[in-house]
């Protein structure tokens, strides 16, 4: 639930299934409440609620298994509300045309997307025929760019197991010139104790951001002895060298996606905090335009990149949402972190 290491910090505030029109009101109220908590004015909070209602209406009309995710993004003095609409609907051959006002037909985003684009500061649409659609929208307190919350080259999503309020999976990110560091931890079990273990891993990551991935994993292993423990992985993306250095302990999956291929990365068996024989790092090539993905075992590793050109041309947040939709296991916590480093 946390993107840490360098601001801004993202928190998944609410996951809401949109199964009928009654869900629209819950989503609108949740979004308006979050906006108010972040210090947005009443008018802007109302506008965000309207946009969320439009997204929910589109999910009800056109989607299958629609979900709305409402997120908070916090920096030092600035904040934003982010909304992700995810579905397994028919998808669209031309998402741009389908989002224009007056282009509403079955299987499209409808006229509501035009209102969402006008009200939001940043939007994106990923739609794959036969798979579904992901719409993301970010709202600033005032209609102006936020210097502390730029366009992201990383994004993650976490979803708790059904019946739990908190997710045991946590991710963390750290940026510096020429390098991007990613961390994913899956706390053992579920609920608050699992979340406490993964938050401890994120704290250690923040404290050792300049260390090598294998050193960070070793530090996390020592720190998690006082917790339930968990699975953890750290990837260091070096854009200048064109490499990814990866160290993992336990069943966090990592891969590099480029040129229609998926290169898996190796984690050592064990449980951070309790069992580790050897912690090693391995280097992998990072081709131009590559995407790096880390995820917990709440996502099956059987997802494929074949025929997914649209997916990996999308924003990191849209990629994360689509992968969680396609590979997420409902009877487990699920977390996915996506990095698309810029040259």
| DSSP codes of every residue in 246-293 | EEEESS-EEEEEETTEEEEE--BSEEBTTEES---EEEEE--TT-EEE
Of all residues in the chain, the percent with pLDDT exceeding 90 is 76
Three-class secondary structure of residue 238 per DSSP: strand
CATH number, domain 9-139:
3.30.565.10
Buried b (16+ CB within 10 A) or exposed e, 186-223: bbbbbbeebbbbbbbbbbbbeebbebebbebbbbbbeb
- Rounded Cα distance between 125 and 123, Å, is 7
Kindly state which CATH superfamily the domain 154-339 is placed in: PPM-type phosphatase domain (3.60.40.10)
Write out the two tokens for 119: 């009200």
Distances (CA, A) of 270 to 49, 115, 231, 299: 45, 49, 8, 19
In this structure, what DSSP letter does residue 207 have?
H
* pTM for the full predicted model: 0.92
Residue 1 in this model has a pLDDT that exceeds 60? no
Going by pLDDT thresholds of 50, 70 and 90, the confidence category of residue 304 is very high
Going by pLDDT thresholds of 50, 70 and 90, the confidence category of residue 107 is very low
Mean pLDDT of 311-332: 95
Mean pLDDT of 29-57: 95
Mean pLDDT of 176-200: 95
Among 72, 83, 64, 60, smallest CA distance to 133 is for: 64
What is the per-residue pLDDT for 98?
Answer: 52
Q: What is the location of CATH 3.60.40.10 in the chain? A: 154-339
Q: What is the location of CATH 3.30.565.10 in the chain? A: 9-139
Element (H, E) at 318: helix 316-327
């Amino acid at each position: 639930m946390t993107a840490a290491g360098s601001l801004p910090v993202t928190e998944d505030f609410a996951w809401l299934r949109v199964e009928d029109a009654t869900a629209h009101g819950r989503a609108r109220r949740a979004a308006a409440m979050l906006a108010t908590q972040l210090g947005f004015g009443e008018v802007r909070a109302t506008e965000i609620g309207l946009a969320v209602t439009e997204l929910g209406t589109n999910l009800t009309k056109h989607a299958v298994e629609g979900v709305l995710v409402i997120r908070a993004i916090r920096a030092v003095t600035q904040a934003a509300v982010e909304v992700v609409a995810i579905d397994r609907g028919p998808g669209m051959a031309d998402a741009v045309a389908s989002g224009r006002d007056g282009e509403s037909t079955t299987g499209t985003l409808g006229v509501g997307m035009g209102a969402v684009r006008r009200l939001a500061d940043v939007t994106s649409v990923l739609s794959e025929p036969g798979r579904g659609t992901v719409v993301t929208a970010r709202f600033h307190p005032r209609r102006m760019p936020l210097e502390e919350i730029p366009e992201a080259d990383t994004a993650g999503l976490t979803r708790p197991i059904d019946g739990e309020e908190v997710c045991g999976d946590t991710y963390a990110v750290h940026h510096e010139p020429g390098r991007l560091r990613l961390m994913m931890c899956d706390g053992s079990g579920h609920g608050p104790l699992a979340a406490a273990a993964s938050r401890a891993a994120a704290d250690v990551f923040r404290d050792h951001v300049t260390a090598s991935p294998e050193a960070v994993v070793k530090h996390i292993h020592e720190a998690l002895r006082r917790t339930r423990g968990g699975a953890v992985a750290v990837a260091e993306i070096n854009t200048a060298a064109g490499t990814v250095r990866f160290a993992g302990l336990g069943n966090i999956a990592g891969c590099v996606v480029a040129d229609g291929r998926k290169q898996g990365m190796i984690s050592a068996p064990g449980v951070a905090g309790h069992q580790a024989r050897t912690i090693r790092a391995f280097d992998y090539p990072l081709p131009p335009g590559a995407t790096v993905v880390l995820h917990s075992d709440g996502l099956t590793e059987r997802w494929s990149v074949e025929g997914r050109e649209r997916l990996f041309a999308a924003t990191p947040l849209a990629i994360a949402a689509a992968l969680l939709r396609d590979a997420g296991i409902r009877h487990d916590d699920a977390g996915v972190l996506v990095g698309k480093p810029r040259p």
